[in-house]
Structure 1
Amino acid sequence: MKRIVLALTLCAAPAMADVVGPGGKVQDCYCTDKSGTRVELGELICMQVDGRMFMAQCQMSLNVPMWREVQEGCLSSGLRQNLAPDLGTNSSSSAS
């Protein structure tokens, strides 16, 4: 009998993971960034809080969407700008 109750409890656990609101409707869970833009569960963004920058992931905790720090610092990309014109590649000049 105990095994049957345990098996039924384990089978029902995934169904209880959804956030259900009034009227039995499943609620759509997501996080928001500082500008109020929607960020889906599992997405990563760079956050700056109290002068610290870090990568954070939108996750669920006790049926509440929240930000969790997953890495110090932020991923970034930079392009070098060549401010001086390249004078040696002009194809219009001919060498005689």
Structure 2
Amino acid sequence: MKGLVFVLSLFALPARADYVGPDGKVRDCYCTDKSGSRIELGQMICLQVDGRIFTAQCQMSLNVPMWREVQEGCLSSDLDWPDLDQTLKTSAS
């Protein structure tokens, strides 16, 4: 079980990819978001393109970093809180 957890934790880390050019210089491979911020290979973000919203992962395709859709929609942390006034009134009755 510990081995399985260790292996799964490796997949959670963003994959780092470095390209060594013919001149011997290391060039990092990464994607960028709409603000130009660096997103490492393997990281996932929520993208909105042409009115569509989806979760995408930064991946390599034909030696070019690109965004690949991994699921429709995006995870949200929005939570509907119960109406506390109504809850207090019902519990007082």
- Which TM-score applies when normalising by structure 1? 0.62
The one-letter code of the counterpart of 1:48 is Q
Which residue matches 1:54? Answer: 54
- Contact residue 19 and residue 63 of structure 1 kept, 8 A: no
Identity, % of aligned pairs? 73
Q: Which runs of 5+ in 2 are unaligned?
A: 1-16, 89-93
Which residue does 1:21 correspond to in 2?
21
Q: CA deviation at 1:72?
A: 0.8
- Structure 2: how far apart are the matches of 1:54 and 1:39? 16
Stretches of structure 1 that go unaligned for 5 or more consecutive residues are: 1-16, 89-96
On the 8 A contact 2:31/2:40 being kept in 1, the answer is yes
| Larger Rg, first or second structure (1 or 2) | 1
Question: Which residue identity lines up with residue 72 of structure 1 in the other structure?
Answer: E
The alpha-carbon distance between structure 1 residues 65 and 80, as it changes in their structure 2 partners (threshold 3 A), is same
Distance across 1 between alignment mates of 2:72 and 2:62: 25
CA RMSD across the alignment:
2.3
Q: CA deviation at 1:18?
A: 5.2
